[in-house]
Amino acid sequence: MEEKCSTFSLRKLSSRLMQMVIVTAFLLVNCLPAMAQTSTKVKGVITSGADGLPLIGVNVVEKGTTNGTVTDFDGNFELTVSSNSVLDISYIGYLSQQVKVVSGTSLYKIVLKEDSQALDEVVVVGYGVQKKKLVTGATVQVSGDNLQKLSTTNALGALQSQTPGVNITQSSGQPGEGFKVVIRGLGTIGSSGPLYVIDGVAGGDINALNPSDIESIDVLKDAASAAIYGARAANGVVLVTTKQGKAGKLQLTYDGYYGTQYLANMPSLLKAKEYMTMMDETRFNEANPGYDWANVLPTTLYNSIMDGSWQGTNWLKESYNEAAPTQNHAINLAGGTEQSKFSLGFSYTSQEGILGKPVQSQYDRYTARINSDHVLLKVKDFDAIKIGETLNFNYNTKSGIAIGNIYGNSIHNLLVGNPLLPAYDEEGNFYDYDDKVNNGWDFDGNTGNPLAGTALSNWGLNLSKNYALQSSAYLEIQPIKNLVFRSQFGYKMTASSYRSYDGIRHLSNNTNVEMDNVYQSASSGHNITLDNTIAYKFKVADKHQFDVVLGQSVEKWGMGSDINASGNNSIFEGSFDHAWVNNTKPTVLSQRGAGGSPWGEGALASFFGRANYNYKETYMASLTMRADGSSNFAKGKRWGYFPSASAGWVMSNEAFMENTKGWLDFMKIRASWGQNGNAAIDNFQYQTTFAFDESNGYYFDSGKLTQTVGGYADILANPDVTWETSEQLNLGFDSRFLNSRLGLTFDWYTKTTKDWLVTAPISGVWGLNPPSVNGGDIENRGFEVALNWNDKVDEFNYGATVNFAHNENEVTRIANAEGIIHGDANVLSQGTTEMYRAQEGYSIGYFYGYKTAGVFQNWDQVNNTSAKYAGAQPGDLIFVDTNGDGSITENDRTQIGNPHPDFTLGLNLNFSYKGFDLNVTGTGAFGQQIAKSYRSFADSPLQNYTTDIFGRWTGEGTSNKLPRLTSGSHTNWQNISDIYIEDGDYLKIQNLTIGYDFKKLFPSMPLGQARLYFTAQNLITFTGYSGMDPEIGYGYGKSWVSGIDLGYYPSPRTYMVGVNLKF
Amino acid sequence: MKKVLYIAVTALMFTSCESFLDTESYTKKTTANFPVTEKDAIQMVTGVYATLNKSIANCQNTYFYLSELAADDRFGGGGENDKDMQVMDHLLYTNINRFQSFWTDRYSGINRANWAIANLDKVENETMRNQMMGEALILRAFFYNELVEMFGSVPLITTVPQDVADAQIYPAQSPVDDVYAAIASDLKKAIEIMPDNKWNSTISGSGHLTKWTAEALLGRVFLFYTGFYGKESLPLMGEDGAIAGSIAKAEVVTALEDCINNSGHELVSDYRSLWPYTNTVSKQFYPLEGNPQWVKDGENPEQVFAIKCSHLADWSTTIGYSNQYMLHFAIRSHGGADQFKNLFPFGQGWGAGPVSPKLWKEWQAAEPNDLRREASILDGSKTKDYTYGADKQMEETGLWQKKVIATTAPKSTKAVELDGKIETVINELFNSFTSSDKYYGDGKDDDFQLGHEVDLNIIRFADVLLMHSELTQTADGINKVRARAKLPAVTYSETALRNERRWELAFEGTRWADIRRWGIAEQALSNQLGSDIWNRGVATVMKNQGAGYAARYAATKGFMPIPQSEIDLSNGVLKQNAGWDASAVFVSWNE
């Protein structure tokens, strides 16, 4: 079979090339008794078993003759054949059929079943496609259908369960927030996300696409597969292909759903009386009298708490936006002729947040897509000149609540909010400082209404609008068959605007904002790429098949700017809708501010080549070389060279395997090795730069208002900084058993990131910030298993997919004397020390602190323990003397947790019977820990607790985990220890869908499909974790840290109803 | 074959690609275009000054803060979680890396000074060049002086590293003599080259350091070095980086006399005018006998060396543009509505450095008529509704210093009937008087954490007079200072000098160095024991923590721990100071 090389022609589009994925189909064959006649005219229509759509260009040949025809646009054919003859019906990607000609049959309805062998399916490999059975690297393909059927707003959410070795974690459950994607373990503390290539253009934003826009996603996991994208491929490559035009009848589809969302797990917070008990107990434990509640609380509040008529405020419930709606509507239209094909799509998605009432989060997204391909010149049996384009436009608006660290997290503030404080006063306004003063509140002057804290400030009053255009245009010239020159120009544009309003509010002693503030910002920028490739496919001696690509690529980005402005004193005080800088009327000039800056510009120039070879589709080899030049490095250090090699052997093709044919259908063994690069650092690290920022001026002037500009060298130059290299060895096999009902894919890999680009601390004596250096190594090792089973019993189809991945991560070198990159302090609570770090010999971002060995139960135990803090008493934590020096010091801190899972799991079960279908999808992660703190325990002892605190020590035998209550400064609480660390293992039933296709009930309806379905998302989570959601991508804003729960916006449980209509 | 060809073609194309890959920073300058002009060179010197404010952003880790809390006249204080404050008083630690920010800020200042010194030849005007060079030298000397007093021997770096390879070899700690020689040489050179303009007509403008600053700082360095190390003179450093020559006492006296006679600096007439509580806005509700009025920063002839603070401190730039000491040393809030009206005009803060009752008593006994005592110390217990234990205040004495403290002002007033008379009282407060439009503010920007715009005095002219007295063992300087305080003249004695410094310069960051160089630190620190204090509102007395004041001073000699992370990053080249092992860890206040 001959193939041509083309990135963008996809399955069904180029019939000689593309094939369909496995789908079970119904096979209807008309078989009637034969009758003898000489000649007869037969008419028929041929449709696909997969979707019931007519098939165009199907070969219909009278068996044993050259008499034949092909079907037209509507799948119809007409042919005059001799009686009693047999029709041979064949079509690429479908099983051939033979149909007996029977007199008296006026119309043959023939349904072609797709070729379940599926081994001829093609995957996108970057600058081309390749038959899946010939692939020698570790790649995984997920079809758009499989993404769309999970009804997620974001394609990455649907990928979660379907890609072993790709760890996808939501960075927040807030609508419109993204995901952390890590392929085969973290290799850097810098930019760790994979490279997204959308329709052949590198660097796109997958979040800008509606899952319904996606035809397929291919993830290139091993170095050899990704090597063609050498630069920036160190973290893996995700190739996204949007839906392409299809020749044939116009096909219009509508997919829509509407759902409501709920909080799956409401943490249990202390009620008023419980809170008062805990506060008093803390005082008693330190030999202080309890609080005089009757006097420090307003009388009416106090009385209503004591007589039980008021239980206090549950701030989280007050903020809960129950049954928050979400909806999605997508229309897709595809059609055209073999000469000119197009695909159009429009979609609208809307999701409201479940938290943050009355300023709950809101996300709306509109997308539009136009893809088309046109053959300008066709010569004989190939397309000599072809042009085409892809165009994806996205517009989204987002308003959210604060989801950052403990100083900027609305949910944290709800969790710690004082339950004694009412949410609203008698007039229905937020209960604020004046209410506290008027009612005689004299308890905690710093406690304020957290609902108002968000609803009246820029934490809740904000709106961003984002526009993104991702487009490409190509020209393909094929002067001789199979020699294809292709030139592709890519253009991306993003623009956004943001607006926020910080309102006047007086909520507590320390929250007193007397002047409102309006902030506006806007930015826009462009990115261009130009790729030129020459591909040639040829055979030598009919058995040696070569497929060679040479290419060149240039990219330039960051051509853009930011501007921002702010002002005080809005004339529309309190109104977010009127919060525009022009509406602010500052009384002095300093109340207006403005800024503007360019985007960091950069460029990449690349040359690459790849040669694929196979012998009889049994022995395969592939070589790739790429050279990349990055503007981030000094001349002489710019170019990185990234080679790779891979080989495969289809063992099952061998004669000696003949006796296994009964149970083994296919077995391919693969091996690959390669290097990829990463240049994702700030530019200009190679030279000393001088900065002139506002924080480095000086106010000589006695008027104190005039700053003199200061200039200073801000980094120590590193002229030698160059590419980070990730080297990976991959061994694996693909296999199919039992008539291809069982599939098993296995991969083992070891990935070493060398010359890791890192900003390693340097000694303070140099007085300069350290530059990025090639200063470390990281190793990731692991394996992946994907197992699937598909079968049918009569009309009952069922299938199961389980995938499983294991990864181990270890930092093996950090190039400073200390071997450590320190993490932040004050993460779990203000006043606590560093709690995560990167260090030689450990997993990147591991949790760092004291180990505990329970709680001292009695004085005997205290006295018999030599290593302890002075003053330890029963009820205090037993810190472990890890270095054995006989005392508990800072040096006893050690690893107390690891945020990276040892194993990840994805599973899918599907059943269908007649028109019914049922699908269950689950994901799981095991072996990771979560650092959880829902209160700033060290410095804010009056914050509320969850009912977990009922498990504290109150006397011998009561608890061996949580110490007695003391004020935050006590080492029990102030030391970061494993009492804040929990196992985060979980298994989530991510999606459960039941559908029915009414086409089965009313076959005559003018629709190809009319499916109605019900979906429950995030239905059940099996976990021992005590927080709201164990899937926690938050890592204090760092890409290399995760699993920190400070009040994490949980992903909602969603119930939805949807339809799929095909016209 | 194909591959060879491909590589050849590629190689050709690479060269043309290089220009495509060239980028230029649109927001920063590089060594290619900076520094070129005189303006650039001056910007470099400004960048050195900027590090002064950087360290104020983390003032709790600075030399000045240590000088106040570690010395005998103040305790640690703060809330029960503010162990950083308490450990400074008791010479213990909770975090061995505590001084990392200060270490880094001072070395960053040194590095910037090194850059400036190496590039000031770009200033064509000779007078200006000498002035700017002198400023950079004084700053470098000042930075090293704080480091060497605080940490003992430290790495001495006087050149600029070119790239990260230079930073691979960690410089060893230089002997303290070398560090002092470098300091002395910088100051000597500054004195020699700087113009003679009066303090208020500096050619580089107001707020810049002067020749007079260099002379005063030389006095301070000389006194500490010779006192603490028992030396007669201060070493000088030759061009080759080895000690060559010295500065004798007479030379220092001459320098101080030059400063006293020729600088234009003088004492302001009323001691209280030095402190911001006598500002024109606040004082209408804080009447003082004789109606002293605050002399604004930049107009105060006593400011020989002051770190400038300003109106535009911001969390997004640096909070160090505001005088964070005023916040840290101010009184904790108990949340009651009228607390700071009752304490007027002293405002809200973190409660660091309660004043030792011993100072209050000893001062009264020694100098009962000294108006400076009440001008410097607020007796909280005499204020209306004073509450001990606000926000878990520790080591509270009820006594608060009045010099470097948040100072409030009336924002609005109201009329009330008191005892049958209509009186105007404060209705609402500004957190800082500088927020009022009488000073720098517009009345709105009144953040209680950031609104502190009063400069931090490092050397005041009174100090110069007292240093002169001490060096010459004459009473002239002492008596000028006493006369301003309306106290009779005395004859020179060691006790008179030491007392005068303690009273006149109380809470101005000099006491710690004084008790160390006079060799009286152990006894002075131990003198704190037994004082009445309140922890979280509960009365108790000051007790030894850890090994105790005397033992801790004996173990450390007053030097602080070098940040452990610096030691780690030096690959063991840096050696930790004595006394800073695990036995010095502070856990919680031992009642």
- Measured between beta carbons, the chain A residues lying within 8 angstroms of B161 are 716, 766, 768
Kindly state the average pLDDT of the residues B492-510: 98
CA distance B353 to B355: 6
DSSP state of A431: P
| Assigned token pair, B67 | 């000088």
**With an 8 Å Cβ cutoff, are B103 and A437 in contact?**
no
- Our CA-based measurement puts residue B97 at a distance from the nearest CA of chain A, in whole angstroms, of 10
Complex ipTM? 0.93
Beta-strand pair A724-737/A664-678: antiparallel
- Strand partners of residue A931: A981, A1044
User: By C-alpha distance, which of A949, A956, A954, A974 is closest to A964?
Assistant: A954
- Measured between beta carbons, the chain A residues lying within 8 angstroms of B571 are 817
Q: Is A542 helix (H, G, I), strand (E, B) or coil?
A: coil
Neighbours of A906 (CB within 10 A): 23
CA distance B507 to B492: 23
Q: What is the pLDDT of residue A40?
A: 82
- Measured between beta carbons, the chain B residues lying within 8 angstroms of A639 are 14
**In chain B, which residue's Cα lies nearest the Cα of A623?**
B3
Q: What is the pLDDT of residue B572?
A: 85
Q: Which residues contact B523 (CB under 8 A, 6 or more apart)?
A: B550
List the single best residue of A722, A765, A850 to mutate versus B (max B Cβ within 10 A).
Answer: A765
Amino acid at A784: E
Q: Rounding to the nearest 10 degrees, give the CA dihedral for residues A731, A734, A735, A740.
A: 170
CA distance A912 to A798: 6
Q: Is A868 helix (H, G, I), strand (E, B) or coil?
A: coil
CA distance B49 to A710: 8
- Our CA-based measurement puts residue A764 at a distance from the nearest CA of chain B, in whole angstroms, of 5
**With an 8 Å Cβ cutoff, are A702 and B299 in contact?**
yes
Q: What is the pLDDT of residue A10?
A: 35
- Measured between beta carbons, the chain B residues lying within 8 angstroms of A521 are none
User: By C-alpha distance, which of A534, A516, A625 is closest to A572?
Assistant: A516
Q: What is the pLDDT of residue B443?
A: 66
HEC per residue, A885-903: CCCCCHHHCEEEECCCCCE
Residue entry with tokens 């379907």? A162
List the single best residue of A699, A707, A818, A974 to mutate versus B (max B Cβ within 10 A).
Answer: A699
- Measured between beta carbons, the chain A residues lying within 8 angstroms of B107 are 764-767
The number of angstroms, rounded, from the C-alpha of A560 to the middle of its chain's C-alpha atoms is 26
Query: Who among A713, A764, A887 is closest to B566 (CB)?
Result: A764
**With an 8 Å Cβ cutoff, are A687 and B30 in contact?**
yes
**What is the average pLDDT score of chain B?**
92
| Assigned token pair, B104 | 């880094």
Query: Who among A704, A714, A717 is closest to B163 (CB)?
Result: A717
3-state helix, strand, coil in chain A (%, to 5): 10, 45, 45
Q: Is A670 helix (H, G, I), strand (E, B) or coil?
A: strand
Q: What is the pLDDT of residue B10?
A: 52
Distances (CA, A) of B314 to A140, A710, B217, B386, B447: 50, 17, 31, 32, 10
- Our CA-based measurement puts residue B459 at a distance from the nearest CA of chain A, in whole angstroms, of 17
List the single best residue of A637, A698, A769 to mutate versus B (max B Cβ within 10 A).
Answer: A698
**Is the bond into B35 cis (omega within 30 degrees of 0)?**
yes
A991 touches A1015 (CB < 8 A): yes
- Strand partners of residue B266: none
Distances (CA, A) of A483 to A385, A477, A535, A614, A1032: 12, 8, 6, 18, 49
Looking at beta carbons, which pairs linking B249-252 to residues 24 or more positions away fall under 8 Å? B249/B222, B249/B471, B252/B218, B252/B219, B252/B222, B252/B471
**With an 8 Å Cβ cutoff, are A700 and B590 in contact?**
no
**With an 8 Å Cβ cutoff, are B20 and A890 in contact?**
no
**With an 8 Å Cβ cutoff, are A770 and B100 in contact?**
no
User: By C-alpha distance, which of A393, A205, A243, A396 is closest to A332?
Assistant: A243
Query: Who among B17, B95, B114 is closest to A629 (CB)?
Result: B17
Q: What is the pLDDT of residue A879?
A: 95
Q: Which residues contact A572 (CB under 8 A, 6 or more apart)?
A: A578, A579, A583
**With an 8 Å Cβ cutoff, are B157 and A968 in contact?**
no
Q: How wide is the angle at C-alpha A30 spanned by C-alphas A27 and A35, nearest 5°?
A: 155
CA distance A309 to B152: 65
Q: Which residues of chain A have pLDDT under 50?
A: 1-37, 118-119
| Assigned token pair, A616 | 């009889």
Q: State pLDDT tens for residues A930-981.
A: 999 999 888 788 899 999 999 999 999 999 999 999 877 678 888 999 999 9
Q: Which residues contact A837 (CB under 8 A, 6 or more apart)?
A: A820, A821, A822, A823, A845, A846, A848
The number of residues in chain B equals: 591
**In chain A, which residue's Cα lies nearest the Cα of B581?**
A889
CA distance A928 to A102: 66
**With an 8 Å Cβ cutoff, are B21 and A548 in contact?**
no
B569 touches A817 (CB < 8 A): yes
**With an 8 Å Cβ cutoff, are B21 and A887 in contact?**
no
Q: Is B56 helix (H, G, I), strand (E, B) or coil?
A: helix
A581 touches A565 (CB < 8 A): yes
- Strand partners of residue B128: none
- Our CA-based measurement puts residue A88 at a distance from the nearest CA of chain B, in whole angstroms, of 45
Query: Who among A288, A683, A702 is closest to B207 (CB)?
Result: A702
Q: Which residues contact B58 (CB under 8 A, 6 or more apart)?
A: B101, B102, B105, B320
- Measured between beta carbons, the chain A residues lying within 8 angstroms of B100 are 764
Query: Who among A604, A699, A891 is closest to B308 (CB)?
Result: A699
Q: State pLDDT tens for residues B76-125.
A: 999 887 889 999 999 999 889 999 999 999 999 999 999 999 999 888 89
**With an 8 Å Cβ cutoff, are A717 and B162 in contact?**
yes
Please indicate, yes or no, whether the overall pTM of this predicted structure exceeds 0.90.
no
How many contacts (CB atoms, under 8 Å) link A and B? 277
Residue entry with tokens 């060995």? A853
Longest Cα pair distance anywhere in chain A, in angstroms?
A: 115
Q: What is the pLDDT of residue A50?
A: 66
Dihedral of alpha carbons A507, A512, A518, A522, sign: negative
CA distance A1006 to A1060: 14
Q: State pLDDT tens for residues B315-358.
A: 888 899 999 999 999 999 887 778 999 999 999 999 999 999 99
CA distance A54 to A384: 28
A173 touches A265 (CB < 8 A): no
- Measured between beta carbons, the chain B residues lying within 8 angstroms of A297 are none
| Assigned token pair, A1002 | 């009313």
CA distance A305 to A311: 6
- Measured between beta carbons, the chain B residues lying within 8 angstroms of A405 are none
Q: Rounding to the nearest 10 degrees, give the CA dihedral for residues A502, A508, A509, A513.
A: 10
List the single best residue of B164, B321, B454 to mutate versus A (max A Cβ within 10 A).
Answer: B164
Residue entry with tokens 């209503």? A304
CA distance B293 to B439: 14
Q: What is the pLDDT of residue A20?
A: 30
Q: Which residues contact A384 (CB under 8 A, 6 or more apart)?
A: A376, A377, A378, A477, A478, A479
Residue entry with tokens 């003179």? B233
HEC per residue, B344-373: CCECECCCECCECHHHHHHHHHHCCCCHHH
List the single best residue of A553, A690, A769, A848 to mutate versus B (max B Cβ within 10 A).
Answer: A690
Percentage of residues in chain B having pLDDT higher than 90: 75
Query: Who among A556, A700, A720 is closest to B205 (CB)?
Result: A700
